[in-house]
Chain A
Amino acid sequence: MAEITLKNLGHSYFPQPKSEEDYALKPVNLVWEDGKTYALLGPSGCGKTTMLNIISGLLHPSDGQLLFDGRDVTNKTTSERNIAQVFQFPVIYTTKSVRRNLSFPLECRDWDPKKISGRVAEVSEMLELDDILDMPARRLSADQKQLISLGRGLVRDDVSAVLLDEPLTVIDPQMKFSLRRKLREINRQTGTTMILVTHDQSEAMSFADEVVVMKDGRVQQSGRPEQLFERPENTFVGYFIGSPPINLFNVDVKGDRLNCPALALTDLPRGDLGPGALQIGIRPDHLNFSDPSESNAVAMVEACENLGIDRIVSLRAANGELFKVKSRLRQKIDVGSKLGVSVAHKDVLVFQDGVLT
């Protein structure tokens, strides 16, 4: 197990990158603590798999250094780094049994057969694969195969970190939940650092101690899930984290105060902001409905989606701006009806040129 440090680490697939645009992963500084769970979150093509492949040694970075416990491993091979990786599609050795699959990495390291069987028994018990150890691995379901992939990583006692490259994509939704919980349990049990790559924010938020949000090869924000939700550092993070995404409203500057016409907010402090495009962001979860006759801000219902316990209501403000409210209110909401909307000042985030102030 190791602390992983990315020191100015960047990668371009071009042999001679001319500008920053040529980088699939723009140079970044990050420290991943030993024993924690991390998630790399971002849309497809944002550079998260590139970062993962650099850490595992499957890709050599064009810039910067990678340190494991302060030791430079940038030029080390995959096997020298002692990394375990689980891929999007389960990778198993089809001709082998579950037991032989789990023992394979140890056989490659010339372990003593007695030691191998002891270790395999330990790991299979942890992954609840002990009942099917002698079954041919190819006959198992996708989630069991994925557990074997994980098991091949955990069976080694020298693993620096387990890298998970969208491992839950091919798993049924029900099994996804239990596999994610299993991964968390294993992390708590073994203290192995785990890094999950995903484009599913709920997967990232529920799995990781810390989430790294990426876009266009650049790290946008890194922090605890609740930090990303409550204090997104820019509008992209606000938009990418949370479902539905954050609502952005235009504001007018009146002296040292900001006014938001859509929500009839007139007394927002401007602070010491310089010139630049200003917007306020409010989570759909933080907006509340009120009686239109008692509210300053009135909006018209354009659509209402029922998600079971929650409802997503799309509204148009008096000034024409569109926004969404996530509500558990059980009253009947008709399309075309008018509703009062209110928000607590503490939940209003001010963005200047797309960056949180």
Chain B
Amino acid sequence: MLKPKHFFLLPALLTLAAIILFPLIFTVRVSFSSWDVYQTGLDFIGGRNYARLFQDTRFWESLLRLSGMSFITVTLQYVLGFALALAVWKKMPGGRVFRVLFLVPMMTTPVVMSVIWRTVFHESLGPANDLLSMIGIGPVPWLSSATGAFISVVIVEVWQWTPFMFLLLLAGLVSLPREPYLAAAIDGASPTRTFWQVTFPLMAPISIGAIIIRLIEASKIMDTVNVMTSGGPGTATETPSYYIYIRGLRDFQVGYSAALSLAYLVLMIITLTIIAKLLMRFLVGKDD
């Protein structure tokens, strides 16, 4: 029974419908159409876009590439972020300055930052090769070779998002209870044992949260790739979101890119759920 109080829900419901439900349902509808630059309208072609998607090796390759890239970047971000957080966790001179400095990369606009890094990695003009030449290395084809471009994107991602890990893990560290550390000291545990037996297990829930958030963000990597390599050379750094952008907004294959987006969304939800469960089991040992 509708009562006056239910109308108070209306603004939130309308906002939800406008920004989530409508785009989602519309994308589902578009994915069953052949909407492109020649045929601009909502016709119905059944599951043809999805059938095409299964044979689109470029999409699956980009997905595989993204898996590798996410794994490497998030692992490095976690390890470096944790190490930095541990370094400034205990009171040390200038600790507060470091805390602020570490956050600068995260606060920079991704496109601006990518442009700067593209200059840094420029083969003849960039300071990266300049510095390497001083120790007799190079010149390294940073952005013109497949491996170099992949590594460059990884470096930039790690540089930009390690501070995020650092921030979350530091927040976790400062909120840890004191007693387990006192108990470990009384039990005679060495600093290494204390880290593995006390700090790491206590940090497991926040670590999982931070890793999952970063994996979600890493799966959307697009601006760095677009500015630095445009997915190249060839398709060496092409990620699914960049590929979907090419198909939808450069080739104007709107129907097909809608099917790609939905497939990608479903795959991401399934994969991230499995990863979260595995991390929970591995790090927290949650078996109930």
- Residues of A in contact with B (beta carbons under 8 Å apart): 56, 58, 78-79, 83-85, 87-89, 91, 93-96, 104-105, 108-109, 136, 138, 149, 152-153
Q: Is B93 an interface residue (CB 8 A)?
A: no
Apart from the given pairs A108-B190, A136-B285, 18 other A-B contacts in the complex at a CB distance below 8 Å: A85-B186, A87-B179, A87-B182, A87-B183, A89-B179, A91-B183, A93-B201, A94-B201, A95-B285, A96-B197, A104-B187, A105-B188, A108-B187, A108-B188, A108-B189, A109-B188, A152-B187, A153-B186
Q: With A and B bound together, what is the CA distance between A153 and B187 in angstroms?
A: 8
Residue of chain A at shortest CB distance from B202: A94
The SS class assigned to the A binding surface is: mixed
Q: How far is the CB of B207 from chain A (nearest CB, A)?
A: 13
B94 at the binding interface (Cβ < 8 Å): no
The CB with the most chain A CB atoms within 10 A, among B179, B180, B187, B201, is that of B187
B→A interface (CB under 8 Å): 177, 179-180, 182-183, 185-190, 193, 197-198, 201-202, 285
Contact A79 B186 (CB under 8 A): yes
How far is the CB of B160 from the nearest CB of chain A, in Å? 32
Q: Which residues of A contact B177 (CB under 8 A)?
A: 89
Which one of A79, A95, A138 contacts B185 once the chains associate, using CB atoms below 8 Å?
A79
Chain A residue numbers with a CB within 8 Å of B201 are 93-95
Are A91 and B179 in touch, CB under 8 angstroms?
yes
10 smallest CB-CB distances across A and B, nearest first, come from A108-B188, A91-B183, A105-B187, A87-B179, A79-B188, A95-B201, A78-B185, A91-B179, A94-B201, A91-B180
Distance between Cα atoms of A94 and B197 in the complex (Å): 8
Q: Are A104 and B189 also in contact (CB < 8 A) when A89-B179, A95-B201, A95-B285 are?
A: yes
Q: Chain A nearest CB: distance from B226 CB in Å?
A: 42
Q: Does B285 lie within 8 Å of A138, measured CB to CB?
A: yes
When distances are taken between beta carbons in the complex, the residues of chain B under 8 Å from A149 are: 183
Q: How many Å from the CB of A213 to the closest CB on chain B? A: 25
A78 to B201, CA, bound (A): 23
Contact of A93 among B182, B186, B188, B197 (CB under 8 A): B197
Most chain A beta carbons < 10 A, residue from B197, B202, B285:
B197
- Distance in angstroms from B186 CB to nearest chain A CB is 5
Distance in Å: Cβ of B189 to nearest Cβ of chain A: 5
Which residue from chain A places its CB closest to the CB of B200 in the assembled complex? Answer: A95
Tell me the bound Cα distance from A131 to B132 in angstroms: 63
Cα distance A56–B182 in the bound complex, in angstroms: 10
Beta-carbon contact of A83 and B197 below 8 Å: no
Residue in B183, B185, B193 with the greatest tally of chain A CB atoms within 10 Å: B183
A91 to B197: give the CA distance in the assembly, Å. 12
Residues of A within 8 A of B186 (CB): 56, 78-79, 83-85, 153
Q: How far is the CB of A21 from chain B (nearest CB, A)?
A: 26
- Least Cβ–Cβ distance between A68 and chain B, in angstroms: 15
* Across-interface contacts of A78 in B (CB, < 8 A): 185-186
Min CB distance, A74 to chain B, in Å?
Answer: 17
Chain B residues lying within 8 Å of A105, measured Cβ to Cβ, are 187-188
Given contacts A91-B179, A136-B285, A138-B285, contact A58 B185 (CB under 8 A): yes
The distance in angstroms between the C-alpha atoms of A96 and B193, with both chains bound, is 13
| Complex CA–CA separation, A109 to B108 (angstroms) | 49
With a CB–CB cut-off of 8 A, which chain B residues contact A95? Answer: 197, 201, 285
Task: Chain B residues near A108: list those with CB within 8 A.
Answer: 187-190, 193
Which of B179, B188, B285 has the largest number of chain A CB atoms within 10 A?
B188
CB-CB < 8 A to B197: which residues of A? 93, 95-96, 104
- CA of A56 to CA of B189 in the docked complex: distance in angstroms? 15
B283 to chain A, nearest CB (A): 9
Give the residues in chain A near B193, CB-CB below 8 Å.
Answer: 108
Closest Cβ neighbor of B182 among chain A residues: A58
Q: B180 to chain A: which residues have CB within 8 Å? A: 91
**What is the bound-complex CA distance between A91 and B198, given in angstroms?**
10
> Complex formed: what's the CA distance from A132 to B163 in Å?
43
A109 contacts across to B, CB distance below 8 A: 188
* 29 A-B interface contacts by CB (under 8 A): A56-B186, A78-B186, A79-B185, A79-B186, A85-B183, A87-B182, A87-B183, A88-B179, A89-B177, A89-B179, A91-B180, A91-B182, A91-B183, A93-B197, A93-B201, A94-B201, A94-B285, A95-B285, A96-B197, A104-B197, A108-B187, A108-B188, A108-B189, A108-B190, A108-B193, A109-B188, A138-B285, A152-B187, A153-B186
Nearest-CB residue, chain A, relative to B189: A108
The distance in angstroms between the C-alpha atoms of A36 and B155, with both chains bound, is: 63
Nearest-neighbor residue (CB-CB) of A93 within chain B: B197
Distance of A7 from chain B, by nearest CB (Å): 23
For B194, the closest partner residue in chain A by CB is A108
Residue on A with the closest CB to B288?
A139
